[in-house]
Amino acid sequence: MNIPRIPRSVVPNLFTAMNMFAGFLSIINASQGNYKYAAWLIFIAAVFDALDGFMARLTKSSSALGVQLDSLSDLVSFGVAPAFLIYQTYLSQFNSWGVIISSLLMIAGGFRLARFNVQLVGFDKAYFTGLPIPSSAITVAGFVLAYYNEGSGYSEPYNQFIIPMVLLLSFIMVSKIKYDTLPKPTMQGIKEKPHLIIFILVSAVALIITNGNALFYVFVFMILFGIFRHIFNKFRKKS
């Protein structure tokens, strides 16, 4: 009896499906008031998102279908889930305006993913144009983990940062600010981006020491670094 051969593309697509499932679970938990669990599930979805790209390279099974499936999963996990989470934890009090403001994370994220897909040549990029949608989502999730208190919500003055944070993240996603891609899991990839390896290791240690509370600050640092580098490069070109 001939056993049908399983295509190699099934492996990365399985991780992509787990990414989408984690995002769906995040939405369910946020609807039930389990906001911390919802935030952690967004982070777990990001881990699956990173693994599907890694497995696609490892199995040499990158495909156009995989790219589209990955984008659909990302829109659920990193567009809809964080938008719903921040709406549930704070923006719902502003009624229609709260819906509009929170939806910007989803809308800008969708635009960001669509632009990435149409500009993609091959399956590897040297850099991202605009803040990657997983980074935006993890920033929101990190904020919830760091500052949301069960029962009392966000305390002063942290709640004052939520709307500016949502607006800034939405703008940076659709901007042309360049952000580094993750280094390839090879010695050559590590040699090309040693600063990223150091940053990842330091961030991992900080997350372990703080039980995840440093997640928000790690991504704020990364976002601000990209903005300042963009401004610096603009001035350098003019001079």
Question: Would you state the pLDDT for residue 201?
Answer: 82
Tell me which residue of 145, 140, 154 sits closest to 82, measured CA to CA: 140
Q: What is the pTM of this model?
A: 0.89
| CA neighbours closer than 13 Å in the CB half-sphere of residue 226 | 23
> Tell me: the pLDDT tens digits for 130-157?
999 999 999 999 999 999 998 888 988 9
Question: Would you state the pLDDT for residue 147?
Answer: 94
User: According to DSSP H, which parts of 59-157 are helical?
Assistant: 64-74, 81-89, 95-119, 133-147
Distance of CA 41 to the CA centre of its chain: 12
Is the alpha carbon torsion for 156, 158, 161, 166 positive or negative? negative
Question: Would you state the pLDDT for residue 186?
Answer: 62
Which residue type occupies 198?
I
DSSP state for residue 32 in the 8-state scheme: T
Backbone angles phi, psi at 127, to 5 degrees: -155, 165
Distance separating the N- and C-terminal Cα atoms of the chain: 71
Domains and CATH numbers, the chain: 10-180 (1.20.120.1760)
> Tell me: the pLDDT tens digits for 195-219?
777 877 888 888 888 887 888 999 9
